Amino acid sequence: MPMYKAPLEDINFVLNDVLNAQTLTQLPGYEDASPDLIQSVLEEAAKLCENELQPLNRTGDEEGCRYENGVVRTPKGFKEAYDKYVEGGWQGLAFDPEYGGQGLPHTIGFVMEELMCSANMAFAMYPGLTHGAMNAIKAHADDELKQQYLPKMASGEWSGTMCLTEPHCGTDLGLIKTKAVPAGDGTYKITGTKIFISAGEHDLTSNIIHLVLAKLPDAPAGTKGISLFLVPKFLPNQDNEPGMRNGVMCGSIEHKMGIHGNATCVMNFDDATGWLVGEPHKGMRAMFTMMNAARLGVGMQGLGIGVVAYQNALAYAKDRLQGRSLSGAKAPEKPADPLIVHPDVRKNLLQAKAFTEGARALGYWVGMMIDMYEKHPDAKVRQEAEDFVALLTPVVKAYFTDMGYEVATNSQQMYGGHGYIREWGMEQFVRDARIAMIYEGANAIQALDLVGRKMPQNMGRLLRRFFHPMQAELEQSLNDPALAEFAGPLYKAFGKLQQATATLAQKGMARPDEAGAASTDYLRIFGLVSLGWMWLKMVKVAHGKLSEGGAERAEFYDGKVKTARFFMEKMLPEVEFRFRSMMSGGRSMMDVAVDQF
């Protein structure tokens, strides 16, 4: 049976030692978010995830959701676990106190997302979708809608969805056909069909608030004609409790590869009453508010699955006896040595360890930057933080989910044939991880976003928010004998990233297909260099702690140094391959005629 243990020691190392998250208490509104308070919150979060959510992960996968005459039943135990989640106030953990939230930093919300996705990704998606809807309503709805809906959603009493995709269009939202007709009383009648709606129907909450993209009768063609509407499952009565059923129904649920405990729904809107969120024809702006939050959340799903897959593979490799070490028996008293003595097993395990620990640092850092651009009193600092988050969003979404899936499959490999058998749990992690590379914008779309939007935005201003501080830290680290072996390879990889950026900018202007052909390799280079930067930061802290003589945790810090060395020597060299592939251009893929495939 699979297990999960919240990695609080590693989490605290990143928050307190690497990122100095205690500085968040200097931001207005976060004065009470002390390290002691955060530690208490995370300990309780660990209990919830380990004791309530993780035991439901396998059973939820096997039972799945049931569709019965338009009603969806979640797996046994999900409702009770969700009630405990609500009772603990977890839904509003990092949300505005004005609407009933706890008001803790977004950074802690990112930690919570990792923990929940490791414990039970399918369950975590229900409150995760609500977060995205809450963010969009807060940013774009009028005060009346905010006051009516956000407190119920922040408490967890009501949940939310994003209804974007339609049967004939996925990413190309300009093709949507869902219509919104003014009813004459300030509301609109919404008609159309949406597909792949995660958590679109379920029995966890008393109401479900759908945010729906639709077009008004006078809408311009394409994405410039999209508006966003709030459409509740039940129309609130005068007491703001669920009243009449609205014209929205779940037509069916998908029978899918993984995340069986989460209902992926076909939603039919038939003259459903809705309210405009934001301005007419400006729905894409509101949509990106929830989409960008969702993309970061999906990135944390990739991290979460990677963490739990690694934990289980590590436990199995330490326990399973198989063969003898190539350099001589390591457990001569036993009939065979444990799997972990073998080099290839160690390579897969260290790749998982290096990715998950590096990604945790990068993901939490992005969370801190969200806190900075929302709360910092200096407008210049806010702008710099917002630029950083915008640049890293496609990287976090795509690189984390690519690697989360890779870690899951490599961890499955550790089990041999047992990894293919359901009772061990590893095959579920592989299946669950696969969707994260697809939804909220498939990873190739993230690469195009990075190359086509983020890279040239404001004459390269977003890139400068990343390149300049990294350059400064690398130059400083190269002069430190203890850090040179880490900073040296990273400095060369960073140079490749800079060269790739310049070449891509030139080629993309002359021939857009060249930029598209190079985009996935470019994003992968960006992800690897970003994690390398995190490992440089972590090894710097670890060396400092070891030099202080912290004998009681010397093994922990020494492990960080060794893992950083593995990353620089065994994972970072992928930059060279990706760079060569990117620089070869797109001719070999674009010159093949369609009928030659």
Catalytic residue among 52, 114, 201, 440: 440
According to DSSP H, which parts of 14-140 are helical? 35-47, 55-63, 78-87, 106-140
Structural tokens at position 481:
């004998």
43 an active-site residue?
Answer: no
C-alpha distances in angstroms, 513 versus 91, 171, 447, 516, 522? 43, 18, 13, 5, 14
Q: Indicate left, alpha or beta for 75 from its phi (over 0: left) and psi (-120 to 50: alpha).
A: beta
Distances (CA, A) of 126 to 9, 35, 61, 161, 311: 28, 29, 15, 9, 25
Instruction: Give me the torsion for CA of 101, 105, 107, 113, rounded to 10°.
Output: -10
In degrees and rounded to multiples of 5, residue 564 shows phi and psi of -60, -40
Report the candidate in 427, 379, 588, 354 with the shortest Cα–Cα distance to residue 61.
Answer: 427
For residues 560 and 358, the answer to whether their CB atoms sit within 8 Å is no
SS3 73: strand
What amino acid is encoded at 579 in this protein? Answer: F
Rg (CA), the chain: 24
Residues 6+ apart with CB under 8 A from 551: none
Show the CA angle centred on residue 183, arms to residues 189 and 99, nearest 5°. Answer: 70
Identify any residues that bridge with 273 across adjacent strands, giving them in sequence order. 189
Q: How far apart are CA 172 and CA 175, in angstroms?
A: 6
Tokens (6 digits) for 587 = 């001719």
Q: 3-state SS of 177-231?
A: CCEEEECCCCCEEEEEEEEEEECCCCCCCCEEEEEEEEECCCCCCHHHHCEEEEE
Convert 45-71 to b/e letters by CB count within 10 Å (16 or more is b).
bbebbbebbbbbbbebbebbbebeeee
Helix (H) or strand (E) holding 158: strand 158-163
Residue 455 CA to residue 464 CA, distance in Å, equals 10
Token pair for 506:
């030139």
Burial 207-244 (b: 16+ CB within 10 A, else e): bbbbbbbbbbeebeeebebbbbbbbbbbbbeeeeebee
466-494: b or e for each residue (b if 16 or more CB lie within 10 Å)?
bbeebeebbeebeeeebbeebbebbbebb
Catalytic residues: 440
